Amino acid sequence: MDSALALHRFHFAFTITFHYLFVQLTLGLGFLLFVLKTLALRTGDEHYNDAARFWAKIFAVNFALGVVTGIPMEFQFGTNWSQFSRAAGGVIGHTLGMEGLYSFFLESSFLGLFLYGEKILGRTGHWFSAMAVWIGSWMSAYLIVATDAWMQHPVGYALGSKGEIILTSWTTLLFNEWAFWQFWHAILGGLVTGSFAMAGIGAMYVLLKKHGDYGPTFVKVGVTAGVIAALLVAFPTGDQQGKLVGRHQPVTLAAMEGHFETAAGAPIAILGQPDVDKQRLDNPFLIPGVLSFITHTRWEAEVKGLSDFPREQWPDSIPLLYYSFHIMVGLGTIFIAIMALSFLQLWRGRLYASKPLLWILMLAMPLPYVANTAGWMTAELGRQPWLIYGLMRTSAGVSPHVSSGSAMFTLLGFLGLYTLLLMLGLFMIWREIEHGPGHEGPAH
Amino acid sequence: MLPVIWFWIVATMVAIYVVLDGFDLGAGIVHLFVARTDRERRAVLKSIGPVWDGNEVWLLAGGGALYFAFPALYASSFSGFYLPLMMVLWLLILRGSSVEFRSHIDNALWRPFWDIVFSLASSLLAIFFGAALGNVVRGVPLDAQGDFFLPLWTDFQPGPHAGVLDWYTVLVGLFAFATLAQHGALWVAYKTEGAVLARARTAAAITWPLVVILTVATTIVSFRLQPHLGASFAAHPAGYCFPALALLGLAGIFVFHRRSQQLAAFLSSAVYIVGMLTSVVFGVFPNVLPANQDPALSLTISNASAPDYGLQIGLLWFAPGILLTLCYHVYLYRKFAGKVRLDDGGY
């Protein structure tokens, strides 16, 4: 843990994980705000505008925290991973540069107009600025995912005489098939977070019998978006993402599944603890044939186990990778169950009277954060020991002259600062939730 | 040719960043002085509220362009300036959150606390950015791999074993502080009325002579420390148009400030900043990061740039993107033009 490499890895992992807590809500809530503004524009009902103003305040705090924790991400490529940047900057600099130019400017300009300009923009103008913020955030997600997709599945490049990586096709980089599925999977994951937040706060208001009609509105919008997102995040996007891993990173798939021995009709592990040294799964709870089916759509297909791959190609944190994957899939299944049941009751007109279900919706709010985090940990731990899959080892990408002492110093700084930010952010969002919607005119 | 184009594109983006984020940083520097009551402070914050986030994006966009056009420079400088850059990040985080957090709670301890954080972080950022520029002019101890790592300070001498901070870079830091304080004061004067306007004018009047003195001092010292600057201007006298631009801006500030033409004074300050930055960039060219131990190891536009295909395709996506961005900016600044008003008709 004291080695510079381990510290640099934890530095990036911690700052990106923390940053993504805010990003996922922005991705989901940005879209739901647009939905509320569209409802307001189409029905002419001020109720939806008030609802949008309330969520805009939470969105603003969340967005600001996303922005300030996002700036260190772009910088860290250079500060902590300079050898990686020198080799690959000419490629991934394109997607990162485009993100700044095409999405951040769109987002930030129209967020300023959205938060400060309701009075001067008029109804349609304000609706338009909500749409621009939403599209900006999703475009940003696409370009970042395309960057990560290139690291997972490098395309459109050639190797130079000194081993440097040269971009040969910008369109191939931009339309990497990995990016397509990963983008929709991540977007829908964010929409699950946003939907659960909206439905959960709504359920709380209904249970507390506070804030009149807003509770039912939030539940209705949250559950309707939530059931769609929870289903699509699993099928087809999660499924297709899994198939890509199976095709291009078979050793990662085996590690994710805790699948040590090559077998035909391979079972899937629902529970169990991987023992890497003894190469087996302890206390397994298996369903036969399913792993073969989901990877090859044939029940009898052969799935390669870890033992068939050279050990230096194994991901280096197999237990954490295995648990991350299982937590994501397990929670994803629970989300489908909660949202499908809630939607059924909503459709039958019984949801607002169903206390147990409202309690579940309220208490489930933090779970999508866990699932999204676990999902990204699956992707990035699964990429190990490679920084760029098959091209550059993680250990070869680190900044050579930044000592473990310097890395520890700044890591502790980020740990402290981010803990403070999280407390303040939660405190401020909680105040807005307690205050509730419908009290004032346009924000600011 | 392509690396030269990209060199000037990145330099322009950095200049736009300094002009735009410079005025909201500057507003932060003078915040506590020009605005005393909560109402006045809300007016200052509201004058930058809709735009500061977009201004900061120029740093990210410039960084992105630097990343793919000059990956070797990005890798070398960011890892070499590891410690000060991380502190810049922390200050940016503190400053951004103080603007957002302040307005949420109406409390006599909460708001002044965030005002101080906002002002302090803005001031330190101005000094850090200035010191960073000083480091680029002075040079850094690049090795044969194009790497270096600078301690925060050594003996405060700008010699071959200098740290990030030496007396020269601290001088440039203070210079940046004074320049941005003036820039911010002129912005606040343009955007506000009454007591805040009067105090902002006072702040601008105090900083102007300071900026003049520091301009002269830093220029003399820079030319003595970095002989490459003088050589550049001697080789291409056309380059003198950049310092001339700066002098024009400096004079403009003085004239328009006296006539109380606040917008013109603010724009003159922008011209001054652009003139100074382009002078530095012109003087350093074709180096992008000079080496101060063995000049042969300097990073230049040719040895730090990406291959031609990437630079060509970059122009293809950059051109429409920057046009769109300029459209947003014109629209945004027009929508929020004029004086800030807190309760009635204004935004």
pLDDT digits (tens, 9 = 90+) for A77-114: 999 999 999 999 999 999 999 999 999 999 988 998 89
Strand partners, A392: A388
In this structure, the strands spanning A280-287 and A268-275 are: antiparallel
The CA dihedral of B206, B198, B43, B117, to the nearest 10 degrees, is 30
B50/A102 Cβ within 8 A: no
Question: Both ends of chain A: CA-CA distance in Å?
Answer: 47
The answer to whether residue A375 is domain-embedded is no
Whether B346 has a pLDDT exceeding 50, the answer reads no
- When scoring A74, A109, A427 by the number of chain B Cβ atoms within 10 A, the one with the most, hence best to mutate, is A109
- pLDDT of the residue at A440: 60
Residue A83 token pair: 């050898």
| Residue (of A415, A397, A416) closest to A4 by Cα position | A397
Interface contact A436, partner B, CB < 8 A: no
- pLDDT of the residue at B343: 62
- pLDDT of the residue at A1: 54
The answer to whether residue A287 is domain-embedded is no
The answer to whether residue A257 is domain-embedded is no
Q: Count the Cβ atoms, other than its own, within 10 Å of residue B187.
A: 27
Whether A444 has a pLDDT exceeding 70, the answer reads no
Whether B344 has a pLDDT exceeding 50, the answer reads no
Q: What share of chain A has pLDDT > 90, as a percent? A: 82
Interface contact A144, partner B, CB < 8 A: no
Instruction: Please name the residue of chain A whose CA is at the shortest distance from the CA of residue B343.
Output: A444
Rounded Cα–Cα distance for residues B114 and B123 (Å): 14
The answer to whether residue A24 is domain-embedded is yes
Whether B213 has a pLDDT exceeding 50, the answer reads yes
Measured between CA atoms, how close is B151 to chain A, in angstroms?
10
The answer to whether residue A412 is domain-embedded is yes
Interface contact B90, partner A, CB < 8 A: yes
- Segment A128-137 mean pLDDT: 96
Task: Write out chain B residues lying below 8 Å of A399, CB-based.
Answer: 75, 79, 82
pLDDT in tens, B74-99: 999 999 999 999 999 999 999 999 98
- Segment A32-52 mean pLDDT: 94
Model-level pTM? 0.94
Task: Write out chain B residues lying below 8 Å of A83, CB-based.
Answer: 75
Average pLDDT, rounded, for chain A: 93
- Segment A360-367 mean pLDDT: 97
The answer to whether residue A81 is domain-embedded is yes
Q: Which of B59, B79, B101 sits opposite A82 (nearest CB)?
A: B79
Rounded Cα–Cα distance for residues A181 and A244 (Å): 9
- Count of domains in chain A? 1
Question: Both ends of chain B: CA-CA distance in Å?
Answer: 46
Q: Which of A115, A167, A410 sits opposite B86 (nearest CB)?
A: A410
| Residue (of A122, A8, A109, A25) closest to A398 by Cα position | A8
Q: Return the minimum-mean-pLDDT range out of B94-98, B208-212, B335-339.
A: B335-339
Interface contact A444, partner B, CB < 8 A: yes
- Segment A403-432 mean pLDDT: 95
The answer to whether residue A339 is domain-embedded is yes
Listed in sequence order, the residues at least 6 apart from B327 whose beta carbon sits closer than 8 Å to its beta carbon are none
> Which DSSP state fits B108?
T
pLDDT in tens, A366-392: 999 999 999 999 999 999 999 999 999
CB B288 within 8 A of CB B300: yes
Buried b (16+ CB within 10 A) or exposed e, A355-367: eebbebbbebbeb
Listed in sequence order, the residues at least 6 apart from A45 whose beta carbon sits closer than 8 Å to its beta carbon are A39
Residue B11 token pair: 């330099």
Q: How many CA atoms lie within 13 A of B257 on its CB side?
A: 28
Measured between CA atoms, how close is A436 to chain B, in angstroms?
14
Rounded Cα–Cα distance for residues B61 and B325 (Å): 11
Listed in sequence order, the residues at least 6 apart from A76 whose beta carbon sits closer than 8 Å to its beta carbon are A11, A12, A15
- Segment A204-209 mean pLDDT: 96
A94/B313 Cβ within 8 A: yes
- pLDDT of the residue at B347: 47
Interface contact B247, partner A, CB < 8 A: no
- pLDDT of the residue at A162: 77
pLDDT band at residue A120 using 50, 70 and 90 as cut-offs: confident
CB A272 within 8 A of CB A226: no
Measured between CA atoms, how close is B307 to chain A, in angstroms?
7
Whether B65 has a pLDDT exceeding 80, the answer reads yes
B2-34 helix and B38-48 helix, angle to the nearest 10 degrees: 170
Rounded Cα–Cα distance for residues B54 and A52 (Å): 23
Rounded Cα–Cα distance for residues A257 and A275 (Å): 13
- Burial degree of A285 (CB within 10 A; 0-12, 13-18, 19+): exposed
Look up the domain containing A328 and give its range: 4-248+316-369+403-435
